[in-house]
Amino acid sequence: MSKKILLIDGNSLAFRAFYAMYQQLDRMVTPEGLHTNALVAFNNFLESIVLPMQPDLALVAWDARSGKETFRGDLYADYKSGRDKAPAEFKEQFPYLREMVEAHGLHNYEQIGLEADDIIGTLSRIGQKAGDEVIIITGDQDLTQLVTDHVTVKLTKKGVTQVEVYTPDFIMEQFGITPEQIIDKKALTGDTSDNYPGVTKVGEKTALKLLKEYHDLDNLYAHVEAMKPSKMKENLINDKDQAYRAQKLATIITDADLSIGLDDIVYAGPKEKGLVTLFEKLHFRQALNKLRSQSLLPDDGQAAEASEQKQGNFQEVKELTDVALAKLGKEKSLAFHIDTTGDNYHQADMIAFAIGNDQLGYFGSRDFTLFDNEHLRQIIEDKSIQLRLFNAKAHWVLLHRLGLTLAGVDFDFLLVAYLLDTVGNDNVLSTLAGRFGRYLADDEAIYGKGAKFAVPDEGRIVEEHVGHKAQTVFDLRDQAFEDLDKHEQGHLYHDIELPLSFVLAKMEARGFTVNEDRLAKMGQEMDEQIASLKEEIFQMAGEEFNINSTKQLGTLLFEKMGLPVIKKTKTGYSTAVEVLEKLAPQAPIVDHILSYRQLAKLKSTYVDGLLAVVDQADHKVHTRFLQTLTQTGRLSSVDPNLQNIPMRTEAGRKIRHAFVPSHDDWVIFGADYSQIELRVLASITGDPAMEHAFVEDEDIHAETARKVFGLPDDAPIDADQRRTAKAVNFGIVYGISDYGLSKNLNIARKDAKAFIETYFQEFPRIHQWMEQIKEKAHQDGFVETIEHRRRYLPDINAKNFNTRSFAERTAMNSPIQGSAADIIKIAMIKVSDAVEEKGLHARMLVQVHDELVFECPKDELETLRRTVTSVMDSAVQLAIPLKVESHAGPTWYEAK
Partner DNA sequence: ATGCTCACG
Partner DNA sequence: ACGTACGTGAGCATG
Among positions 744-783, residues that touch DNA (CB under 7 A) are 744-745
Among 653, 657, 722, 788, binds DNA (CB under 7 A): 653
Among 301, 448, 564, 609, binds DNA (CB under 7 A): 609
Instruction: Name the residue nearer to DNA (CB basis): 75 or 577.
Output: 577
Instruction: Name the residue nearer to DNA (CB basis): 691 or 795.
Output: 795
- What are the angstrom distances between the C-alpha of 46 and each of 89, 94, 620? 21, 15, 53
Distance of closest approach, residue 568 Cβ to DNA, in angstroms: 8
608 is a contact residue toward DNA (CB under 7 A)? yes
* Whole-number Å distance between alpha carbons of 34 and 43: 16
Among 307, 333, 515, 552, binds DNA (CB under 7 A): 552
> Sign of dihedral through CA atoms 275, 276, 280, 283?
positive
For residues 341 and 450, the answer to whether their CB atoms sit within 8 Å is: no
* Whole-number Å distance between alpha carbons of 649 and 357: 55
Distance of closest approach, residue 54 Cβ to DNA, in angstroms: 29
815 is a contact residue toward DNA (CB under 7 A)? no
* Whole-number Å distance between alpha carbons of 708 and 761: 9
641 is a contact residue toward DNA (CB under 7 A)? yes
476 is a contact residue toward DNA (CB under 7 A)? no
Among 467, 499, 735, 815, binds DNA (CB under 7 A): 735
Instruction: Name the residue nearer to DNA (CB basis): 337 or 701.
Output: 701
Mark the segment that binds DNA (CB under 7 A) among 11-19, 69-77, 806-814, 825-833: 806-814
Among 54, 644, 772, 874, binds DNA (CB under 7 A): 644
Among 230, 259, 384, 571, binds DNA (CB under 7 A): 571
819 is a contact residue toward DNA (CB under 7 A)? no
Mark the segment that binds DNA (CB under 7 A) among 53-61, 85-93, 195-203, 801-809: 801-809
* Whole-number Å distance between alpha carbons of 137 and 219: 32
Among 231, 452, 648, 799, binds DNA (CB under 7 A): 648
* Whole-number Å distance between alpha carbons of 471 and 533: 60
809 is a contact residue toward DNA (CB under 7 A)? yes
Q: How many CB atoms neighbour CB 476 within 10 A? A: 24
Among 67, 73, 274, 740, binds DNA (CB under 7 A): 740
Among 252, 680, 741, 783, binds DNA (CB under 7 A): 741
Beta bridge partners of 5: 57, 134
* Whole-number Å distance between alpha carbons of 818 and 573: 36
Among 787, 850, 855, 860, binds DNA (CB under 7 A): 850
For residues 727 and 709, the answer to whether their CB atoms sit within 8 Å is: no
For residues 480 and 410, the answer to whether their CB atoms sit within 8 Å is: no
Instruction: Name the residue nearer to DNA (CB basis): 270 or 640.
Output: 640
- Within 279-399, strands assigned E span 317-319, 333-340, 350-357, 361-365, 386-389
Give how many residues touch DNA by CB under 7 A: 76
* Whole-number Å distance between alpha carbons of 689 and 762: 8
What is the DSSP pairing of strand 163-166 with strand 57-61? unpaired
Instruction: Name the residue nearer to DNA (CB basis): 451 or 617.
Output: 451
Instruction: Mark residues 336-355: x for contact with DNA by CB under 7 A, - for none.
Output: --------------------
Instruction: Mark residues 656-675: x for contact with DNA by CB under 7 A, - for none.
Output: ----------------x---
602 is a contact residue toward DNA (CB under 7 A)? yes
Among 148, 604, 797, 870, binds DNA (CB under 7 A): 604
Mark the segment that binds DNA (CB under 7 A) among 226-234, 456-464, 679-687, 809-817: 809-817
Nearest to 275 by CA among 32, 498, 439, 462: 439
Distance of closest approach, residue 46 Cβ to DNA, in angstroms: 23
Q: How many CB atoms neighbour CB 758 within 10 A? A: 15
Among 141, 295, 631, 797, binds DNA (CB under 7 A): 631
Mark the segment that binds DNA (CB under 7 A) among 429-437, 497-505, 743-751, 762-770: 743-751
Among 157, 209, 743, 866, binds DNA (CB under 7 A): 743
For residues 675 and 700, the answer to whether their CB atoms sit within 8 Å is: yes
Distance of closest approach, residue 631 Cβ to DNA, in angstroms: 4
Considering only residues 195 to 254 of the shown chain, the ones binding DNA according to CB under 7 A are none
Nearest to 115 by CA among 252, 266, 280: 252
Nearest to 792 by CA among 783, 801, 802, 800: 783
Among 66, 219, 277, 569, binds DNA (CB under 7 A): 569
For residues 629 and 485, the answer to whether their CB atoms sit within 8 Å is: no
Q: Please, is 750 exposed, middle or buried when counting C-beta atoms within 10 Å of its C-beta (0-12, 13-18, 19+)?
A: exposed
519 is a contact residue toward DNA (CB under 7 A)? no
Considering only residues 50 to 69 of the shown chain, the ones binding DNA according to CB under 7 A are none
Q: What is the DSSP string of 239-272?
A: THHHHHHHHHHHPPPSS---S--GGGGB-----H
Distance of closest approach, residue 769 Cβ to DNA, in angstroms: 16
- What are the angstrom distances between the C-alpha of 161 and each of 27, 49, 441, 783? 21, 7, 26, 38
For residues 156 and 136, the answer to whether their CB atoms sit within 8 Å is: no
636 is a contact residue toward DNA (CB under 7 A)? yes
Among 634, 654, 707, 789, binds DNA (CB under 7 A): 634
